[in-house]
Every structure is written in C-alpha cells, then in structure tokens.
Structure 1
Amino acid sequence: MGHGDVGDDGNLEALPDFELVIPRKRGPQHKRRSVEQVYIEARRPELVCMAWVPELRTVLAGREDGKVAYWRLMVLNNDVTISKDCRVFEGHRGRVGSMLSLREQADCFSGAIVVSGGADGQIRVWDPRVEIEGAVQDISGHDGTVTALAQCHAYLASGSTDRTVRLWRPGGTPGEVPKKPSGVTYPWFEPHRVFILGTLPGWINTLTFDSTGEVGDLGSLFAGDSEGAVVRWRPAKSIRDLGGCDFVEGSTHTEGSTHDEPFERVPLDPNGSSRGVFKALYIAEENMVVTLAYDMKARGYDTLSGRRMMELDNPERCMFTAVVYVGETRELFLVDRRGYFYIYDLRLECVTLREQRTGLATVFDENTKKGDWLPAADLALLRGAPSLRALVLTAQGLVKGIQICREKIFQFLYKPGEGHVGPVIALTAGMVDDQERIISASQDGSIRHWDTYDMCSLRVFTDDSASEITCLAYSRHNRKIITGHEGGEVRLWGVDSGQCKVMYVPEKAHANTVSCCALVSTTDPTTGEAMETLYTAGFDGRVGLWDLRSTDGRSPYLKLGWKAHEKEILSCVAWASKECVITAGNEGIIRLWKGPEELIGELTGHERAVTCMAMRGTTLFSGSEDRTVRVWDTEKASSEGALLETLDGHESTVVGVWAMSSTGHLISVSTHDPTITGERQGKLILWDVQQSEVIEGALSDEVKADLEEKIGRLKEGLESEKDEEKKVKINEVLTGFETQLEESSKGEVSMQRLILDTFTHPEKFRSVTVREGDNQVLLGTAECSIVATRALPEDVWTESGLPPRQSNCPPSRQWEADSRL
C-alpha cells in the first residue's frame, strides 16, 4: 500500500461532536461591500492558531486582529457542552501567529498558563482563570513577527522572522496581577539566551521540543525555517540550572555543522524537497521529526541519520496545515487547507482515515468564497474528556470538535512472501533461546516462527509426507513443536532445525483426525525429574497420553490411550494440579479423566457441541456451537453447583477461549457475526469474570422474621414522620431491607458478568492465543492472516498493577501474513 493511499479501517470514524463560534459583528470594518462583484458580508474574525488547556478544559484561539478568543467547555456523560459564551481578550497589535499551553514545572510555575506570539514581536502570557481582559505578562525582545513557541522543560523558546531563537527562563521580577488565583505561580520569564541563525538561508517558521522521559534523555529542540532547513539544539546537563539542564551555545556539533553555528544541522534525505518547512513535530519515542512543507507534503525523518521514514502526498493538492501525534496508537492526526482531517498510521505507513470535517463556508471573505470548503488552520488534541477528541480550527471564526470512535485498534502490516497461504488454524507463543516467538500452523502444511517485534517470518517448516495439520503445541522444556494431523499421526519438530518425525506408536494412537492437544508440566514419580506430558484427542473419541522425553535408547512414546467419548472430541485441556485431562466434543458433554478407567466427573449443560475450553485454577471455561460460554467449578463436577454462569454475547459458534492467568479476564472468539454491518465475520469479547455481585441463598427463619419486623416498624415510622429529609433516609433503609428479603426468597446464587470490550473483524477467526506480558491477543483467520490487538483496555491494564510490557512490540497492531500480496 502506498504512502498516500487510504487504508480501509471499518472500525475507525471521526464524528462531528461540537462547535465553538465567535459571534459575527457589524462594525465600520465589517460593512457589507463588494470586491470584484463578490459580496463580503459581516464576517467572523479569522482564527489563526489555538491552544488547549486540559487543566481548565479551556480553548484559546489567536485571531488575525490580535485578539484571543476563549471558550470554557464542560464534559458530562462523554458529551461536550459550552459552559460560557465566547470571551475575547485584548491581545497583540497584529496577527497572533502562535500559541502554546505550558505544562506545570515543579518549583518554577503552575500549569494552565498560555503563551502567545504576535506580529508585533511581543510574547504574552495569559491565565484564563484571571477575570481580566489582558495578559499576565508582556515579553519583548524580538524585532520581527514571533512565528513559533515551544516549552523546553522550564524554559520557553521563541522563534521569529528576525532570524533568532530566544530562550526565556522563569524567575524574573513578578508583576501585579489583579484577582490573581490563590496557589498559582506565574513564570515571569526573563531573557536567557539568544541564538542568531546567521548561516541559515531563511527565518524560523516552527519550533518543537520533546523528550522520551528516560534517564539521561534531556530532549531536543528542533527548528524549521522558510527555506527547508531543520536544525537541532540538545540541552546539556547542568545541576545549577532550571530542570537540571541548559542550552549552551556551540555545545553540540555533527558533520555538516560549523563551530560558528550554535546548533546542529539535521542531515535531511537529499531526495526530500528543499521547499520551506512551516510546521514541524518532534516525536522522541519514534526518534522522528515530522515536517509539513509548502510543496503539499508531510515527511518524517530519522533525527540521527536524516533518512526519510515517511512521506505523504496530499491527495487534495493543497498544504497540510497542522499535525499532532497520538502515542497510544502511534498515529498522526493532520488537517489541510481544504478542511480534510487525516489519520496516518506510522506502523502501517498509510492513511487509515480521510474525511472532510470543517464544512462549507457560509459567507464570503477575502480568502474564502462562499461554498468552498472551510480551511483548517490548526489542530489540537482534547484529552480531558473520556473519549479522544480533536479540535480543528477553521478560518471563519469556528472551532470544530471531532470525536474519534473506534471499536478496537488494529492495523495491517503486509509482509509480501512471508506468510501462510491457507487458514491459520493454530497459534502459540513461547520462549525460544530467551527470545519470545510466535509459532503458527496452517492448512497449507507449514509451520512458521515469527519475530514478536516486527512479525518477520524467521523460519518455515514443512514436510510433504505429512497430512493436513489440525492442532499445535510448543514444548519449551523439550524444545519441540508438536502437531496433530488429519491422518491421525502426532509429529515432533525441532524448534531450530525443523527436523520432523512421527512419534513412535506400537499401535496407532488415533484412527482419525487428531483434533486437539494439551501440554502439562509434571514430575516423574520415580526420579523426581521435571517433565512435560502431552495429551491428544481426536475424532475417534480416543485420548492419548504421551511421554515427550528423549533419552538413551528411548524416543517419545505413547504411554496410555483410551476411549473417552462415543463421538468426535473437539477440545481437550489439562488440569495440572490434579494431573487430569478434560475432554469435550460433539456430544456436548465435558468429562474429567484421571486415566483410562478413572472418570472423575462430568459437566452437562451445553445444548450443542463443545468446541473449545480453557482453565484457570479450578475454574473451567467452555465455548460451544450453542453460542454460549459456560463457567464451571471443576471441584464440583457431576454436582448441581458445578455450573457457575452462562455467558451470552456471541451470535454464532464460539471457536476459542482464553483465560488470562495474570488478571483472570476471559477472552472468547466466534466465527461469524451476522448482526454487524459490513459483513464482519469474526468477533472477540473480553469478559471481566472476576467482577460479580453475589447474593447468598435463603436466609434462616430467625433472620427472616427479624427483617420482617424491622420493615414493619420502618413503615409505621414513615407514615407518622413529617420531616421530608428524614422520610428520604427512612425510605432508603426500607428499600434495602425489602430487597434483601426479596432476594432471600429466591434461594439461589445470582452472579452478573460484565463485558468489558468487543472487537469485530472482516475475517473469520480460526485460532487464538494471548501474549499476556505484552497485553496482546493474536488471532489466526481463515483468510490466511494473523490479527493482533490489545487484550485489556489501557486503563484496566494500568489499574491491574501489571509490570511493563516485556518486549518492544507495541500493544496494538495487526500483521497480515499473506504471501499472495
């Protein structure tokens, strides 16, 4: 897929949300007049730039007339409303060219403070909390228009058409601020350093600063100029200065820089355009600086080598005007002069959404004709609301709110020539030589190893003599991949060499397809040696128990085999603590086996075939063709209390379940969802089976009688009480007692389960595994793909207190392993 192409992501939408408006005014400068026979009506002042203040949920927008517009928002039940009409601060004596919301710096200044730069060369500091129409501080120093602002720890950086970058430090002489809010500390910026860019061909258009936050990374300040050059300043460590760092002239030099330059030139890819850069965004965690240029392209460069990492041509043949980065999803949001909103996925390297979101101009002005698309001038992320929103600034006095809606995040990453050409029927993840690997099996007869970082195919194993693969497991202890086959054989594959051999069977273990297998770690009762045991089950209704050890004179072999079901077995799972195997299939009955003659229990309740199972502790989860997932207490097998809950949510056969050992959450997968539009075929549900409300069974007669007596007294008191407040309190207590009495009469345990998340996909799911250390679900599909998405929502992951992810792989991405591409 090309860099400018638009990917088809049916789960992603940008919906109109709210609108902020500056009222039209008719003054001497806004009288109706004709210009080249085009009538210009009363108009809203053009908006140029904006800043979002999350602490106050406030939007400030700089205008062409030098004033600053101000809106205060409220968020209620995920809906944004405007609590106050637009207010206007008297600002600069000319166009406001840049605005910046400052982050709080401990011991220096408070947050929720906004800085603006104007055509008058002034920098103004604003506090939206102050009930005055003026700035807290005016800063002078530049001789030209202030075009760019950036916060570098406690410092403020400003760029100008006077070809200088100035650094301002907090701590100057405080001024008088009427009605100053208590507890707020202002920065009171004073001059610190001036970098004169005498060797650069143009003036500064943009400044951007970022840091990874890691120990030793003090961040970098990048500047882009009107002729296309990009330069960099790196702060040096200094325990005497604010934030433990300072920008020292000439402190860093690389090839291409001279010792007379107070900066480091970024060696941009010579194949890139030399057209002027008017906007730049440094993304430290991606080690990339994104530039928007006058040639209608957005480019991303490696900050060390200058290598071009991305390039996006604007399909509307106009300039991009603003860009922001969403770290959670590794996406860029962009807008352009025709009012289009873009989402560019850095992993996929293509646009996943492009929609016109500003609307049509309703009045004429000097820059826009009536009926044209409203240009987008600036962009900001509104993170203070429950859902991610983008604010798009338009020219004609409007700020458009856009809500980003997605069912669940996933991306496509195509790997030409490195994928399966048949359905992916089995997936597992495990450690190979201290590196986590994903192992997949397909009906095309191949087994593949995948690198978890970039999903590169590392190894491919095949054997032309083998029948179709039907199930897979990985034994780290024995360094073997185990596969079951349609012909009834069980094969071992060397995890490194791919050498394949059929396990030695005196009499064939299975006469038909081996449909499932399960590994369990045990101890040899005679030697005390740690070992892994393999259970297999098949369409012949038989179960096989295998010893996987290879010792002198002995190969892995079948220890035991027995008939467990009359019909086909479709799923088996090991109960490690009891050294048991649990089997189920087309009979709809689940059986617990200790050995050939030791059936220790049965679980009944499914109306159709049981297709998949998973264990966590003593709890068993089973999925079925009856479209339900059932939760069982295996300790109570064959008793009435064994079935704990029936989970409804799927519209078709449940083909996979996974119980997360770290958190207890349950993931279930089905193959077809006919109720979802767009012909989506696969569905995943995340269940919080831990969160439940348990109401005990019938109360004793004494407790019941006591409750009834209390209820009677409360009702009498309610009739005689005249105080309304006391009546409300009595009613609350009375309702609680009545509810308790009503539930006790049911004489049963009631449990409620919660669906935390759902995910649908256009392809049919065939297999599932979870990388719990990386919060990822991997799904094999009938269309030869491997889909990956997050297992738990980020807030649940954080609240669970889980350790940091164990690999470099992002929490949400999708690989399409398809050699047809």
Structure 2
Amino acid sequence: MEFYGRNTLHGFMDDENGSTQSPPRLSIRSHLDMYEQDLQFSPGRTSSPRASATMHSVLPPGSPESPWTLSPLQTPSPALLYHCIASLHRQEGNIYSIGLSKGLVFTGSDSNRIRAWRQPDCTERGYIKASSGEVRAIFAYGNMLFSTHRDCKIRIWNYTVTDNFKFKKISTLPKRSSFLLFPKTSSQQHKDCVSCMAYYHAEGLLYTGSYDRTVKAWRLLDKKCVDSFVAHESNVNAIVVNQDDGCVFTCSSDGSVKIWRRVYREISHTLTMTLKFQQSPVNALALSTTFNNCFLYSGSSDGTINFWEKEKMSGRFNHGGFLQGHRFAVLCLAAIEKLIFSGSEDTTIRVWRREEGSCFHECLAVLDGHRGPVRCLAASLEMEKIVMGFLVYSASLDQTFKVWRVKVMPEEKLCFDFADRNDSKSTKTMEYEMSPVLSPSWVEKKLQGNHFQ
C-alpha cells in the first residue's frame, strides 16, 4: 500500500526525437498500432523466464470455497475483495468505449455495432447497427445514447428496455441539411476522429472533442453546434463536465489539461486555467465530486496519475500530487465516490481510495486479468448493508470485455504515521514482479531504450 500527497512529479522524460523514442510518450493511436503489430509476433520467439512465468497467470488464487480474491497488496487489513464475474470475447476487433445507463452496459468497437448488455451479468440484450463504420466513442444518459463514428459525425439514439431492446435514431450531428449546404466550409463538422464526449445535463449541451484539436458544443434542443473552438495543440483525448457549475475539462496529447467556462449569458467558452505538470501526453480524465470536495484526475503516458483539488473559495485547482504504480501509460480513468479506477497499457486496473479530508490516496488492489492494454473503463455503485460494492467494466486490446465485482470494506482510521507509509516501498517492487505482462515481444519493445526506476 502506498500513499501519495504533495510530492514532486517523477516522470520518464526521454528525448522524443532521439534514436530510440520513449514508449511512455506514445499517443493512444500509437499504443493501438503497436499492440496490433504485436499480435503477429512469432510463437517461437525466446522470452525471459519472468515473462514466460507470468504469461499464464490470471488472478491470485482465492480459497477453494469462494471466488473472491483478497487485494494482492499487503494492507494492514483486507480493505478490498474482488472477483471477475464475466469475461466476454467477440471477434469484432477492439472495444474503444463503454457507456452505462438504465441498467444497461453499451460497448462500441471496431465493428459498426453498438452492443447492449444487461447489468451485472452482461447477458446480451441486443445491438444497434450503424452504417457509418467503427464506433469510436459512446456516452449514455437516461434513455439517450450518443455515438461517434468513422465519418466524424455524432449519432443520437433513443432506446427502451422492456421484454426486448428497442432503439431509434433521433438525429445525426451535424444535421444533414446544413452539411450539404456547406460541405467544405461548415464549422459544424469535425475534420478528424471524434474521440470523446461529455454531456451537461442542466443545459442540454453535448460536448465533443476531436483529433482535429477542436471542441464543439451541441445544443440538443435544436441539434445545433452553438460553439466551436481550438482547445489544444494536438489531439483532444478526453473531456468531462462538472455538473455542479458547467465547467468543461479537456486533455490532450500536447501534455496539458485545460479548464473552460461558459461566458455569462452567452454560449461561447473561455479558457480559465491550463494545468500542465508533465510533457507526456494526457490520455484520460476523471472528476470526483462530493459535497465537500472536488478532485480532477488525469492519466498520462508516463504511467502517472496527477490530481488537482478545487479550492472552495477561489474555485482554482491546485496540484495535490500524483499516484504512481502503473508501469506503462495510463489509458483510462473512472471515478465514483472516493474510489478511482485506472486502466493501463501494463494490462492492469488499479483501485485507489482517497482518504477522507486529505489529499492522500492508497492503492487498494491491482486487478490483473487482461492480456493487453486496458483501453476503457466504467464503474457503477452497488450498495450493501455493511460494505460498499462496485461493478467495474473493462475492455482491453486483447479484445476481451470483463466485468469485476468489487467490495470495499468500511474505511478505518489510519493510525500509523508518514514514516510507516514510506516503509511500504519494498511491497511496490515485489508487486511489479508479480504483475502480468504482455507477450515477450511487447515487453522487449516497451523496455527498449528505457530504464524504469
């Protein structure tokens, strides 16, 4: 177990233009390409003993009577139990995004189908077939589902779940009429892959971020693009909205996180803060808001998760520290209650808990069942009498979709001091040795030219 607070960031900053490029600086697209190439590796290729030994491990063994697994971290008390309740594999390519709403789980992939699964057992309820190619991003809210596709447009679907799963396409953004009138000059059309979406409930505004570096705001009432602005110097990889005040957070491969606010009584947006603490691409964002606190988390290609805490009086976000434990890039994040779930290129999912009333975080568990980079995550709450339960959905570039049930014991008062917290570094080193790895050729590619501390 490790705690992190207000510390100096230690990243792996290699020369990007050198003879060997640092893997932690790769973009998400590069991670995808790299793993797809790795699937073609020769089975006869030699590997290190550690890589061979860990290739076939799935989960730490539990007791014969129960599928539940204790957290592999040596915590003072068993704070977390977990087990994988479903593992699905379909020959439809990579899953790029997961959406949750109304007891359903939606997945978007390389295929042109958006599949709907029932929570929590992931029995398939049906699918939506689009005619516009692969589904790059999806977002669900209420009975609405938003999806982005290869043609750089956004589809809005309405669905109902009774005995059968039924759906209907409501609209395409931008609307076909305006696109035909201005096929090349219309500012309503994204010019590259629409990589992420967020929805501001109070105003009915859908935000989309794209590899064309822009963010667009769509008013669903009249299906119009009401604002469009260049947000970053490179790909926009993730976007989230604070439902309390409407602030928009974006991150990019340019290494920055930006905060945008709507101009008073207008629909345009203005930049209020730029948060930049490293040079590595920022791949993922998550916002954790409670009655007293608001924390912003960002996952980077150097393997770290930076977090910022919002000041109650000024509303500014101050850097609170970073969470370090992943060996390779952090590709996705999900936050719920005081827990943060992080998915990484190192094939693992880490579960972090924020200590009440402070900036300190502890890593409760490492979920290690995937055989490829964990590309997307989603989480939902399951309330029980004593423990707090969560359902975690993960998809990997190994083309599997997994469902985890996680139970977190009530938070105990931590009576040990900071010296005790720092004594657990040996546990972290051992844990790295136990972590699953990808194929030997993938490991060789990642370690080439890098020296992990």
Q: Which structure has the bigger radius of gyration?
A: 1
2:212 is matched with: 540
2:174 is matched with: 504
Structure number with the bigger relative contact order (C-alpha 8 A, sep ≥ 6) is 2
**1:211-246 deviation digits (Å, cap 9, x = unpaired):** xxxxxxxxxxxxxxxxxxxxxxxxxxxxxxxxxxxx
Matched, 1:687 2:352: yes
1:426 is matched with: 97
**1:732-768 deviation digits (Å, cap 9, x = unpaired):** xxxxxxxxxxxxxxxxxxx543111111122331110
Q: How does 1:181-580 map to 2 (within 5 A)?
A: 325-326=65-66, 329=68, 408-412=82-86, 419=90, 421-431=92-102, 436-464=103-131, 466-476=132-142, 479-496=143-160, 497-500=166-169, 501-505=171-175, 506=178, 507=186, 508-523=188-203, 532-549=204-221, 554=222, 556-580=223-247
Q: How does 1:9-158 map to 2 (within 5 A)?
A: 10-13=58-61
Q: How does 1:747-758 map to 2 (within 5 A)?
A: 752-758=360-366
Deviation for aligned residue 1:460: 1.1
| Local SS of the residue matching 1:644 | strand
User: Which consecutive residues of structure 1, in runs of 5 or more, have no partner in the other structure?
Assistant: 1-7, 16-323, 331-385, 388-405, 524-531, 673-681, 695-750, 800-821
Identity %: 18
Task: Judge which range, 513-522 or 594-603, deviates more.
Answer: 594-603
Q: RMSD over aligned Cα, in angstroms?
A: 3.2
| Local SS of the residue matching 1:612 | strand
CA contact (8 A) 2:349 2:367 kept: yes
Distance 1:787 1:601, change over 3 A: same
Deviation for aligned residue 1:509: 3.1
| Whole-angstrom distance in 2 between the partners of 1:609 and 1:642 | 20
Give the TM-score normalised by the residue count of structure 2: 0.64
Deviation for aligned residue 1:770: 0.3
Question: What amino acid does structure 1 have at the position aligned with 2:200?
Answer: V
Question: What amino acid does structure 2 have at the position aligned with 1:768?
Answer: L
Distance 1:413 1:667, change over 3 A: closer
| Local SS of the residue matching 1:509 | coil
**1:93-130 deviation digits (Å, cap 9, x = unpaired):** xxxxxxxxxxxxxxxxxxxxxxxxxxxxxxxxxxxxxx
How many residues were matched structurally?
A: 319
**1:770-802 deviation digits (Å, cap 9, x = unpaired):** 021251111012233211113343x24899xxx
**1:344-398 deviation digits (Å, cap 9, x = unpaired):** xxxxxxxxxxxxxxxxxxxxxxxxxxxxxxxxxxxxxxxxxx78xxxxxxxxxxx
Partner of residue 763 from structure 1, selected from 346, 359, 372 = 372
Distance 1:635 1:559, change over 3 A: farther
| Local SS of the residue matching 2:244 | helix
Distance 1:486 1:414, change over 3 A: closer
CA contact (8 A) 2:140 2:146 kept: yes
CA contact (8 A) 2:191 2:212 kept: yes
CA contact (8 A) 2:310 2:316 kept: no
Give the TM-score normalised by the residue count of structure 1: 0.36
Deviation for aligned residue 1:669: 1.2
| Whole-angstrom distance in 2 between the partners of 1:520 and 1:640 | 20
| Whole-angstrom distance in 1 between the partners of 2:372 and 2:243 | 34
Question: What amino acid does structure 2 have at the position aligned with 1:769?
Answer: A
Distance 1:425 1:578, change over 3 A: same
Q: How does 1:767-778 map to 2 (within 5 A)?
A: 767-773=376-382, 774-778=389-393
| Whole-angstrom distance in 2 between the partners of 1:637 and 1:605 | 23
Distance 1:792 1:602, change over 3 A: farther
CA contact (8 A) 1:509 1:558 kept: no
1:75 is matched with: none
**1:459-487 deviation digits (Å, cap 9, x = unpaired):** 111123x13221110121xx221012233
Distance 1:574 1:450, change over 3 A: same
Question: What amino acid does structure 2 have at the position aligned with 1:610?
Answer: V
Deviation for aligned residue 1:633: 2.3
1:620 is matched with: 296
CA contact (8 A) 1:657 1:667 kept: yes
2:320 is matched with: 644
Deviation for aligned residue 1:440: 1.1
Partner of residue 273 from structure 2, selected from 575, 597, 601 = 601
Question: What amino acid does structure 1 have at the position aligned with 2:390?
Answer: N
Matched, 1:671 2:345: yes
User: Which consecutive residues of structure 2, in runs of 5 or more, have no partner in the other structure?
Assistant: 1-55, 70-76, 161-165, 179-185, 263-267, 383-388, 414-453
Deviation for aligned residue 1:607: 2.3
